[in-house]
Amino acid sequence: MRNTRLFDRHIIRLSPTEAGEDVRQFLQGLVTQDTAADMPLWAGLLSPQGKALFDFLLWADTGDVLIDCEGAQTDALIRRLSMYRLRRKIAIAVDSETAVYWSAEGSSDPRHVELGERWLGAPSADDGDVSAAYRTHRLGLGIPEGLAELGSEQTLWLEANAAELNGVSFTKGCYVGQENTA
């Protein structure tokens, strides 16, 4: 059986490069979700006006956080996160040793129970691309994702059904764009 890989998704790994550095704390003041919560989480990185710049899923990997993001936006997201990193001792890089997989069976996607099973794993030569089937399934449920559907600085985060799709925490405190989202 071929693995069901989403080739249009990439992984960004955020890792502490010095003892005591906390990647989740770094993200806490940037993204719409409470990074102290159990992962995976769907979250957004917003403009100061509360409009969606990027959406992604956050995955825990020991002290690291993996960002499952739109492949075409990987470099732009890395640049944006690097801008916010300032002097924090955190490495931000593409993780080519991890791939995103999906199956319509199951219910682990944090956005919607009917979205199916989503997991991370090592890439394989047997991987089959299910990106088109996933997109059709996702859009059939009315779940937006990525630049083509959310735009860049065009859609307020709550207009993307972020509250209904578990993409925002109203109790976590401040983050970029929080004032307009709250």
Domains of the chain plus CATH, in order, are: 3-156 (3.30.1360.120)
The whole model's pTM is what? 0.94
Per-residue pLDDT of the chain (182 residues; tens, 9 = 90+): 457 999 999 999 999 999 889 999 999 999 999 999 999 999 999 999 999 999 999 999 999 999 999 999 999 999 999 999 988 999 999 999 999 999 999 889 999 999 999 999 999 988 999 999 999 999 999 999 999 999 899 999 999 999 999 999 999 988 888 877 76
| H helix runs in 29-173, sequence order | 74-85, 131-140, 146-150
What's the sign of the alpha-carbon dihedral 155, 50, 13, 91?
Answer: positive
Helix (H, G, I), strand (E, B) or coil at 66: strand
